[in-house]
Amino acid sequence: MIAIALAFLAGAIILAATGYSPIEAYGALITGAFGDIFGIAQTLAKATPIIFTALAFLFAFKCGLFNIGAEGQLLVGAFAAALVGISFDGLPALVHVPMALLAGAVAGGLWGFISAVLKTKLGAHEVITTMMLSYVALYFTSYLVNYPFKAPGGVSQTVAVAPSAVLPLIFQSTQLSASVFVAVGLVVLTYYTLQKTTLGYEVRAIGLNPTAAESGGINVKRGIVLALLISGAMAGLGGAGEVLGVHGRFIEGFSPGYGWDGLAVALVGGLNPLGVLIAAVLFGALRSGGMEMTRVTQVPLDIVSILQALVIIFVAAPMLIKYLLKKGGHKWSD
Amino acid sequence: MTLAVEMKAITKAFVDVTANDKIDFNVDKGEIHGLLGENGAGKTVLMSILYGLYRPDSGQILVNGKQVEIDSPSRAIELGIGMVHQNFMLVPSLTVAENIILGKEPTKSRVLLDTKKITDDVKNFAERYGLNVDPKAPVHTLPVGVQQRVEILKALYRGADILILDEPTSVLTPLETEELFKAIRALKKQGKTVIFISHKLKEILEICDRVTILRRGKVVGTVSAEETNVDELAIMMVGIQVACTFTHAQTERKEVVLKVENLEAMNDRKLPALKDVTFEVFASEILGIAGVEGNGQTELVETLTGLRKATGGNMLLENTDITSASPAERIKRGISHVPEDRQKRGLILDFTVLENLILGSHSTPQFTTGRLRLDLDEASGHTEKLVNDFLIKTPNKDALVRHLSGGTQQKVVVAREFSRKPKLIIASQPTRGLDVGATEYVRKKLVEMRDQGCAILLVSADLEEVCALSDRVAVMYEGKIVAVKYPKETNERELGLLMTGGKCE
């Protein structure tokens, strides 16, 4: 919290230095994000995909893994969901929606699984493989949406999914869809899994001390595979939610970097599922309130990016440094 | 004769142990001087002080007759002292020549590396000392023995006249060791002084002119290699003053719990660590494994617990072959393991006491409901019981194990492993680093478990401990069980000899 306050203070200095009134700007930001029901809905809508990707990062991190490929897992998940949404017609929504969501999770999970196999079989570091596979996902979905599955017209997008596959909007004329319920449900499920199940116990044991976990009879490789699989599935589910709830189709470039925001949000949220929820809402508020701020005060939208970056620097950077020091410390004591 | 190094009354204490206690250590110019002692005797600390890695709490150092303050390795290098560590400090992707000149690079017009000159320099240099290496070979492609040669050359290139070799043979094959010895003798001929750290008696006798023996941070004596023998050195090094106390009469022989036949395994460097190891452990028996550390005990324990793959032979637990069973399966079958490194292997320091106490049993029906869900109520009750039974000093069951004292941490491990109703307990260095009270407690518990019918394999570097607790003692040396002795039929002197590769008559 102190770090976030510091970030806003630093942001105020930048605003003042560039000739804007920080009070006015922040006022507009807050009114925009939380001032009325539409603002709040828009804030939550912007937070939703980031919740998924942040949980994805968090879950892998608890197993000692750096999955920085949530972006790619989200994209393949989104495309798979769109494909299932388009391909079937006349199914009841109660079947079609879960099916499409599941397809998204499976595709994202598969993307994570590839990195897991590369790590456990060949020893390839997951930071490299998840990131590289992100680019593969980006260009692969780009190809699919520009050629085989391109809808007629100038935009690189698929045709709309069947009405039976659409996640309903909660507020008309906002982007807040039922996906937010899935997201919140996943927050609870993640917390529960990590704290109350044998799987979560094993994942955390591996993350904290793989050597002792191994001695305790935990299959470390299996744990790593499962963690990356689940992590990827979470991000894929987020992509599916965007396609089925917000856009109704796969549009190239629909994600402005949700995967990366998720990494930051997971760290800002203290690598704790509930913290992730709060941090995601904060980031969502910056996004949605930023529009209002620009409209009312003419402060350029870029200041939002600056604020986001400041929050990350003040919150996440010290944590990362601490983490790296800890890792380094282990090496020294070897 | 002049002294190359003179260390006077060096004392160095760490938080819980005095590593060097008023040590006097002299090395003549041009001699090969052995520094002998068990692990933890203070050899490496003493040499780290000489090399400027540690500052002594008190004492003086004279190099070539002049008193000096060595506050950093670079100061040591200035004084002509070089050290080759057990773990090499080479850049694997650079070539031999690049590694050797690192920090003293010859350049063309100050910025460009003079690669030709580097290669030639290194080549000439290596030839001068008879240490053959290919200057252009990338270091990571070289066998360990050659990498060590590169380390030695690196030290010499920086002008070392006094060369410290820290356990140089521990990573080498016998053939590589021979070559190293040739090189060391050649260095002596060139007038260099060599300090050779080892716990291997035969090597010390083979290569050194004089030997200084350390035990528990103190100098036991300095002797000339020609005037001593393996027996004398062994006694000085192991130093058993307390007579073995076999307090318990062996009850009648019960059934075999663990049977190990012709077991073979490799160490981390892919060298054979276990050679044809065969033994049995009976129910209601403590079999002690005595040995100087590094003779295969760690690998034996890891192989028995399924953490290391056996490359030959087999293991039977109550007549069931477990040679290829996973660690989890072995736990399930009743093998408990108290690992030698409790913080690395035994515990998850950032887990709570409760979480640590169920490790290994966390997926058993006792602690799960509906197969996937942890039964935290059950775990909680279990934790309370163990905290009481084993007198674990913790503020509560949710305290992180990291914040407990070393003795309490070990009690957590012991409580977890002993409460599983094991058939076999493999206890490796179970009292290392513990205070007297905790040591007594762990030993008492081990005996208790034995009396309840458990088979116990006790691996300890502390001969006194092995003697005090074991019903039978197996001696390990260089990856082999060289003898199995009944306590009544042996004495500390014989064990000391066997541990250090001596023959019993």
* pLDDT score of B1: 59
Q: Are A233 and A76 in contact (CB under 8 A)?
A: no
Asked if residue B391 and residue B444 are part of one domain, the reply reads: no
Query: Which CATH number does the domain housing residue B181 bear?
Result: 3.40.50.300
Mean pLDDT for A246-267 is: 93
Residue B250 placed within a domain: no
Query: Of A38-52, A168-182, A279-293, B480-494, which gets the smallest average pLDDT?
Result: B480-494
What CA–CA distance (Å, rounded) separates A208 from B35? 39
- Domain boundary among the residues B205, B238, B271 is at B238
Residue B389 placed within a domain: yes
Q: Does A148 touch chain B (CB under 8 A)?
A: no
B459's tokens: 């691996």
Give residue B478's domain range: 255-334+422-505
Asked if residue B427 and residue B404 are part of one domain, the reply reads: no
What is the distance in angstroms between the Cα of A203 and the nearest Cα belonging to chain B? Answer: 12
Per-residue b or e along B494-505, where b marks 16 or more CB atoms closer than 10 Å to that residue's CB: bbbbbbbbbeee
Residue B492 has pLDDT above 80, yes or no: no
Pairing of strands B373-374, B368-369: antiparallel
Residue B461 placed within a domain: yes
* pLDDT score of B241: 47
Q: Which residues of B touch A230 (CB under 8 A)?
A: none
B358's tokens: 């169920």
* pLDDT score of A330: 43
Q: Which residues of A touch B350 (CB under 8 A)?
A: 208-209
Q: Does A192 touch chain B (CB under 8 A)?
A: no
Q: Does A66 touch chain B (CB under 8 A)?
A: no
Q: Which residues of B touch A193 (CB under 8 A)?
A: none
Asked if residue B366 and residue B320 are part of one domain, the reply reads: no
How many CB atoms sit inside 10 A of residue B377's CB? 10
Residue A331 placed within a domain: no
Q: Which residues of B touch A211 (CB under 8 A)?
A: 344-345
Residue range B451-460, pLDDT digits in tens? 999 999 999 8
Residue A91 placed within a domain: yes
Q: Kindly determine whether residue A219 and residue B326, on different chains, have CB atoms separated by under 8 Å.
A: yes
Asked if residue B173 and residue B47 are part of one domain, the reply reads: yes
Number of domains in chain B: 3
Residue A320 has pLDDT above 80, yes or no: no
* pLDDT score of A305: 86
Q: Kindly determine whether residue B337 and residue A209, on different chains, have CB atoms separated by under 8 Å.
A: no
Asked if residue B490 and residue B480 are part of one domain, the reply reads: yes
A320/A11: higher pLDDT: A11
Nearest to B374 among A197, A212, A214 (CB): A197
Interface test with B, best of A193, A211, A215 (most B CBs within 10 A): A215
Residue B418 has pLDDT above 90, yes or no: yes
Q: Kindly determine whether residue A217 and residue B372, on different chains, have CB atoms separated by under 8 Å.
A: no
* pLDDT score of B242: 41
Residue A107 placed within a domain: yes
Q: Kindly determine whether residue B332 and residue A217, on different chains, have CB atoms separated by under 8 Å.
A: yes
Q: What distance lies between CA A188 and its chain's CA centroid?
A: 16
Q: Kindly determine whether residue B328 and residue A196, on different chains, have CB atoms separated by under 8 Å.
A: no
Question: In which band, very low, low, confident or very high, does the pLDDT at B101 lie, cut at 50, 70 and 90?
Answer: confident
Mean pLDDT for B37-63 is: 90
* pLDDT score of A316: 67
* pLDDT score of A331: 38
Asked if residue B223 and residue B278 are part of one domain, the reply reads: no
Q: Which residues of B touch A199 (CB under 8 A)?
A: 372
Residue A333 has pLDDT above 50, yes or no: no
Q: Kindly determine whether residue B351 and residue A204, on different chains, have CB atoms separated by under 8 Å.
A: yes
- Domain boundary among the residues B420, B443, B465 is at B420
* pLDDT score of B387: 94
Q: Kindly determine whether residue B348 and residue A209, on different chains, have CB atoms separated by under 8 Å.
A: yes
Residue B447 placed within a domain: yes
Residue A120 placed within a domain: yes
Residue range B11-32, pLDDT digits in tens? 998 766 788 999 999 999 999 9
Residues in Cβ contact with A61 at an 8 Å cutoff, skipping those fewer than 6 apart: A67, A207, A266, A271
Query: Of A139-148, A278-287, A294-303, which gets the smallest average pLDDT?
Result: A294-303
Residue whose pair of structure tokens reads 């019981």 in the numeric block: B385
Asked if residue B459 and residue B355 are part of one domain, the reply reads: no
Mean pLDDT for B134-142 is: 88
Number of domains in chain A: 1
Asked if residue B210 and residue B86 are part of one domain, the reply reads: yes
Nearest residue of chain B to residue A333 (CA atoms): B344
Q: Kindly determine whether residue B348 and residue A202, on different chains, have CB atoms separated by under 8 Å.
A: no
The answer for A 205-234 residues in CB contact with B (under 8 A) is 205, 208-209, 211-219
Mean pLDDT for A215-238 is: 97
Mean pLDDT for A161-182 is: 92
Residue B328 placed within a domain: yes
* pLDDT score of B247: 52
Residue B106 has pLDDT above 80, yes or no: no
Residue A329 placed within a domain: no
Residue range B436-445, pLDDT digits in tens? 778 888 999 9
Give residue A239's domain range: 55-266
The one-character DSSP state at A201 is H
Residue A291 placed within a domain: no
Residue A129 placed within a domain: yes
Asked if residue B64 and residue B158 are part of one domain, the reply reads: yes
Asked if residue B231 and residue B110 are part of one domain, the reply reads: yes
Residue B245 has pLDDT above 70, yes or no: no
Q: Kindly determine whether residue A213 and residue B348, on different chains, have CB atoms separated by under 8 Å.
A: yes
Residue B411 placed within a domain: yes
Nearest to A197 among B307, B351, B373 (CB): B373
What CA–CA distance (Å, rounded) separates A53 from A235? 5
Residue B40 has pLDDT above 80, yes or no: no
Q: Are B28 and B63 in contact (CB under 8 A)?
A: no
Residue A315 has pLDDT above 70, yes or no: yes
Kindly provide the ipTM of the predicted complex, given to two decimals.
0.86
Strand segments, DSSP code E, in B301-348 are: 310-317, 320-321, 335-338
Most confident of A174-183, B126-135, B245-254: A174-183
Work out the percent of chain B whose per-residue pLDDT is above 90.
Answer: 58
Nearest to B337 among A196, A197, A215 (CB): A215
Q: Kindly determine whether residue B374 and residue A205, on different chains, have CB atoms separated by under 8 Å.
A: no
Residue range B311-328, pLDDT digits in tens? 999 999 999 999 999 999
Asked if residue B286 and residue B365 are part of one domain, the reply reads: no
Residue A76 placed within a domain: yes
Residue B88 placed within a domain: yes
Per-residue b or e along B21-30, where b marks 16 or more CB atoms closer than 10 Å to that residue's CB: bebebebebb
- Domain boundary among the residues B238, B268, B299 is at B238
Q: Kindly determine whether residue A217 and residue B360, on different chains, have CB atoms separated by under 8 Å.
A: yes
Question: In which band, very low, low, confident or very high, does the pLDDT at B244 lie, cut at 50, 70 and 90?
Answer: very low
Asked if residue B321 and residue B430 are part of one domain, the reply reads: yes
